[in-house]
């Protein structure tokens, strides 16, 4: 019998296990503070899932995630607070914002080969932050926007730390995971990887490289904008101060720590990087120093992050199991 434990657990079982975990999780959470951290993990996972398309699969570094996140949050927040529309419409508007950013920024920077996306997204995020700070009549300047309304379903308000809001976020996360999964395993996902691994041969196979890159970037920016809109609702307050380059770097680190190019890795990275500051409180001030050191070392020695640890242990386990199996059959 060559079957091993992890192969036995098929993809469907893994998905069901994850879903059950998501549903049962609120049972173990008693304080609203922990609930908000959990919600943040979900929102960060959505951003990293999007970032995974352009950085993980296509291999173009996007350093402007904070700018997308900020524009998504402001689109939804301004619509709901100034025009008084429902947060759901704000959420849909942020999707359109994402498409707009993806195309307008992706077209100039990805049409030509080279690392231009990194440079333009870096300045894009800074410019967005500066505009949000200085266009005071519209955005409220550095003071930001306060009292962003909560979501309602059939007249029931979903409070910021309520279980209902958590389930709504979880449903959106599951939706985005399904979208990512379908895309990664479709001809689009294969084209993404082909463009990353060998652009010349991808082009020979009839793949339009710039279209693929712009598509992946647009996906990233839509995911980022939706997550931004959700973040605005979760916090109830946004200000341009928090959307710095540091934030973009943190999202890239989430992707790196988890394991670049995989859905599980993206979510694991988002969870770990969001939780670690809470777990490593004792390090206090020097936390980020240690964390950056870990990321640097993992970039050099274990480029696939947590996911490479997972594959390492899986291979070890398989080896062990097949050895056991060999012994058992030999003795009989």
Partner 1 sequence: METLIQLAISGLAMGLIYCLVAIEFTLILNTSGLMNFGHDKYIMFGAFLFGGTFVIRLGWDFLPSAVASVLLMGVVGIFIAVIVFSPLQKLPRVYAMTGTMALSMILQEATRLTYGARSFTVLGFLSGTINFGFVSIQRVYLFIIIVTTILLIFQNLLMMKTKLGRSFRAVAQDKETSSLMGINVNTMLIASATMSLLICGIIGVLIIPVTGITLGMSNMIGSKGYIAGVVGGMGSLNGAIIGGLVVGLTEALFLAFGGNPVYKDVVSFVLVVLFLLLKPDGILSEKKAAI
Q: Kind and range of the H or E element at 151?
A: strand 151-153
CB of 263 to partner 1, least distance (A): 17
- Which lies closer to partner 1 via its Cβ, residue 136 or residue 178? 136
- First-to-last alpha carbon distance for the chain, in angstroms, is 13
Q: Please, what sign has the CA dihedral across residues 90, 95, 96, 102?
A: positive
CB of 82 to partner 1, least distance (A): 22
Phi, psi of 233 (to 5 degrees): -70, -40
- Which lies closer to partner 1 via its Cβ, residue 26 or residue 59? 59
Record the tokens describing residue 250, joined without a space: 């943190």
Give dist(CA 52, CA 169) in Å, integer: 19
CB of 296 to partner 1, least distance (A): 4
- Which lies closer to partner 1 via its Cβ, residue 15 or residue 302? 302
**Which residues in this chain contact partner 1 in the complex, by CB under 8 A?**
55, 59-61, 63, 108-109, 111-116, 118-120, 122-124, 126-127, 130-131, 134, 244-246, 249, 252-253, 256, 260, 285-286, 288-289, 292-293, 295-296, 299-300, 303
- Name the CA dihedral angle for 310, 253, 186, 21, rounded to a multiple of 10 degrees: 60
CA-closest candidate to residue 23, choices 8, 43, 38, 44: 38
- Which lies closer to partner 1 via its Cβ, residue 201 or residue 292? 292
CB of 324 to partner 1, least distance (A): 36
- Which lies closer to partner 1 via its Cβ, residue 63 or residue 271? 63
CB of 70 to partner 1, least distance (A): 15
- Beta-carbon count within 10 A of 30 CB: 9
CA-closest candidate to residue 262, choices 62, 51, 17: 51
SS3 145: strand
CB of 28 to partner 1, least distance (A): 33
37 Rama class: left (phi>0) / alpha (psi -120 to 50) / beta: alpha
User: What's the distance, CA 311 to chain centroid?
Assistant: 21
- Which lies closer to partner 1 via its Cβ, residue 152 or residue 286? 286
- Which lies closer to partner 1 via its Cβ, residue 113 or residue 185? 113
CB of 61 to partner 1, least distance (A): 5
Phi, psi of 238 (to 5 degrees): -130, 145
């Amino acid at each position: 019998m060559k079957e091993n434990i992890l192969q036995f657990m098929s993809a469907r079982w893994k998905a069901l296990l994850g879903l059950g975990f998501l549903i049962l999780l609120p049972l173990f959470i008693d304080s609203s503070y922990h609930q908000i951290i959990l919600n943040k993990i979900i929102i960060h996972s959505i951003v990293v899932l999007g970032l995974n398309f352009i950085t993980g699969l296509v291999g173009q570094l996007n350093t402007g995630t904070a700018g997308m996140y900020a524009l998504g949050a402001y689109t939804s927040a301004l619509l709901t607070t100034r025009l008084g529309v429902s947060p759901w419409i704000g959420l849909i508007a942020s999707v359109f914002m994402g498409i707009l950013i993806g195309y307008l920024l992706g077209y100039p920077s990805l049409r030509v080969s080279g690392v231009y996306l990194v440079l333009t997204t870096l300045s894009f995020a800074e410019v967005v932050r500066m505009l949000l700070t200085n266009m005071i009549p519209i955005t409220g300047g550095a003071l930001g926007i306060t009292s962003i309304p909560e979501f309602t379903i059939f007249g029931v308000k979903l409070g910021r730390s309520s279980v209902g809001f958590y389930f709504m976020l979880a449903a959106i996360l599951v939706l985005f995971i399904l979208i990512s999964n379908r895309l990664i395993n479709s001809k689009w996902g294969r084209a993404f990887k082909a463009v990353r691994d060998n652009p010349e041969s991808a082009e020979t196979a009839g793949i339009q490289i710039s279209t693929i890159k712009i598509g992946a970037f647009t996906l990233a920016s839509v995911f980022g904008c939706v997550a931004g809109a959700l973040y605005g609702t979760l916090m109830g307050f946004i200000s341009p101060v928090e959307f710095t380059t540091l934030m973009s770097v943190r999202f890239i680190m989430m992707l790196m720590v988890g394991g670049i190019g995989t859905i599980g890795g993206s979510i694991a990275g988002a969870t770990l990087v969001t939780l670690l500051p809470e777990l490593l409180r004792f390090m206090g001030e020097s936390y980020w120093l240690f964390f950056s050191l870990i990321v640097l070392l993992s970039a050099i020695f274990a480029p696939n992050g947590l996911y490479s640890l997972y594959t390492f242990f899986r291979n070890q386990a398989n080896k062990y199991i097949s050895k056991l199996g060999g012994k058992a059959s030999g003795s009989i």
